[in-house]
Amino acid sequence: MGSFAWAPVQNKVLGCRGYKERHVYRVAGSPQYQFHRAHNWQPTPVRVSAISEELTAAAEEDNFRFNGVQIDSSQVYGDIPVSQETLSVHGGEREGRPRVSDSLTTPIVQTATYTFKNTAELIAYQEGRYGSYEYGRYGNPTTRTCEEKIRILEGAEDCLVSATGMNSATTMLLALVPAGGHIVTTTDCYRRTRQFIQTVLPKMGISATVIDPADMHGLEQALKKQRVSLFFSESPTNPYLRCVDIPRIAELCRAHGALVCIDSTFATPINQKAISLGADIVIHSATKYLAGHNDVMAGALAGRAESVAAVRSMHNVLGGTIDPHAAYLMLRGMKTLDVRVQRQNQTAMDLAQRLEDHPRIARVHYPGLPSHSDHAIAKAQMPGGFGGVISFEVDADLWGTAKFVDSVRLPYIAPSLGGVDSLIEQPTVISYWDQGPEKRAEYGIKDNLIRFSCGLEGVEDIWRDLVQALEAVG
Ligand SMILES: *Cc1c(COP(=O)(O)O)cnc(C)c1O
């Protein structure tokens, strides 16, 4: 045939049979080929048939799988122990991921489906002898790399990334709780999760016991009286930043065969490793800190291999698949996760202390403060820091508090949290306005409550702004 192709032959990933031939093939004389030659890019032209055989043999010898499934961090970094900062940058993104043109960054693989060269290759794939993907709803290399990074940061066996945090939570509940099952959750809870538990799960005969985050007696009673399949709580919670005692809960639940799932969105894996504290599953609204820039929606679930596999099967049916571009934005965001979160921890702690001493503030809710009801628990299980969100009550009514919100200049008035821009919200107005005073009282949402998500602005700038806004309340 006489056609030539360039291929970075040192790269075993591209050496996987099929991948190279179908994706990296560049015919000598083609515009891309000329471009690479003109810029003196390294790949040497070699005969396709020759590399094909050579690299196929190498790939088969190594039993190499390019989708990263078999890669663990010890392989990625050799014997060198590395810190969390390093894992945030490199986790999941060194060896074991597909590389194109020796690109430093993880490629966005924009495809809905994957091809097979012939029936033999397809059967090899079905039998796990050929690592590839089949269809976009079941997996994508960009997304898989994202899952690897989270898996490594959480110290989990596997991870599943999906389109939104709500999708991760609802898919997890549908997959892990049997029809007619019972779950235990806590009072202070993301509103849509509560709505799903109260209105959708009962259609499958699934009931729930709702306890205060500190009510271990309530949990014990529920475990004794019901066949509990799952305990599910945020920690810290939204908006009062309550923390549940994860090791204690895990111990109680394990004795009764119930799984423990922690929504660690507010904590991030930098501040809290829910799995090593005893949780079976950890979920994130990756929209918040993991992605970190208020520009993308995503969800993640990590934990034991068999639990993640069960959720993945359900996910493959429900189809809350993340777009590969969104997965890439998340990967990019996570490279700075450690530095962002450390800075946000510091800013939040600093502001919480100053607000607590301010005459116009009635109360500050921050787990890093000794005044917080769960401070001891938070100290024990959040060694990295207490997170970048603070809640506080202004010494004013609904409208006085609204005046404060309207007077700040730096933070945006917006829901969400965890991004580089500071955000401020009055939960009564932004999340619970349609509920009326009685429901709000039932959920413990006070009219003078503010939730503040620290961004990366200078702490003195934020503080000056908050002080002038508090003065404007009058
Ligand atoms: C935002 C949030 C969710 C929902 O996540 P989405 O990405 O918005 O779907 C779930 N739990 C917590 C604690 C959240 O903050």
Nearest Cα residue to 299 out of 192, 195, 382: 192
**Residue 353 phi, psi dihedral angles, 5° rounding:** -65, -45
Checking if the pLDDT of 17 tops 50, the result is no
* Stretch among 51-65, 197-211, 218-232, 440-454 having the lowest mean pLDDT: 51-65
292/337 Cα distance (integer angstroms) = 7
H or E segment at 114? none
Same domain, 378 and 285: no
Give the model's confidence band at 59: pLDDT under 50 very low, under 70 low, under 90 confident, else very high: very low
Same domain, 299 and 349: no
pLDDT at 97: 67
Closest residue (by CA) to atom 8 of ligand 1? 165
Q: 259 in ligand 1 pocket by Cβ < 6 Å?
A: no
331/294 Cα distance (integer angstroms) = 14
Same domain, 303 and 154: yes
CATH number of 396's domain: 3.90.1150.10
CATH number of 188's domain: 3.40.640.10
204/197 Cα distance (integer angstroms) = 11
Same domain, 312 and 398: no
* Stretch among 74-78, 120-124, 284-288, 377-381 having the lowest mean pLDDT: 74-78
Please state the atom number of ligand 1 nearest to the C-alpha of residue 265.
13
Checking if the pLDDT of 33 tops 60, the result is no
Residue 70 neighbours by CB under 8 Å, 6+ apart: 96
One DSSP character per residue, 351-392 reads HHHHHHT-TTEEEEE-TTSTTSTTHHHHHHH-TT---SEEEE
Same domain, 262 and 159: yes
Checking if the pLDDT of 63 tops 60, the result is no
- Torsion angle of alpha carbons 219, 221, 226, 228, nearest 10°? 20
pLDDT at 163: 98
pLDDT at 65: 36
- Torsion angle of alpha carbons 260, 308, 416, 236, nearest 10°? 20
Same domain, 176 and 315: yes
Checking if the pLDDT of 42 tops 50, the result is no
Please state the atom number of ligand 1 nearest to the C-alpha of residue 299.
7
Nearest Cα residue to 241 out of 345, 163, 168: 345
Domain boundary among 311, 334, 357: 334
25/37 Cα distance (integer angstroms) = 15
Digit-coded pLDDT (tens) for 243-275: 999 999 999 999 999 999 999 999 999 999 999
Residue 307 neighbours by CB under 8 Å, 6+ apart: 176, 259, 280, 281
Q: 263 in ligand 1 pocket by Cβ < 6 Å?
A: yes
* Number of domains the chain contains: 2
Digit-coded pLDDT (tens) for 74-120: 445 556 778 888 889 988 887 666 667 788 999 999 999 999 999 99
Q: 299 in ligand 1 pocket by Cβ < 6 Å?
A: yes
Same domain, 189 and 288: yes
Mean pLDDT of the residues in the chain:
85
Checking if the pLDDT of 8 tops 60, the result is no
The secondary structure of residue 204, as a DSSP letter, is G
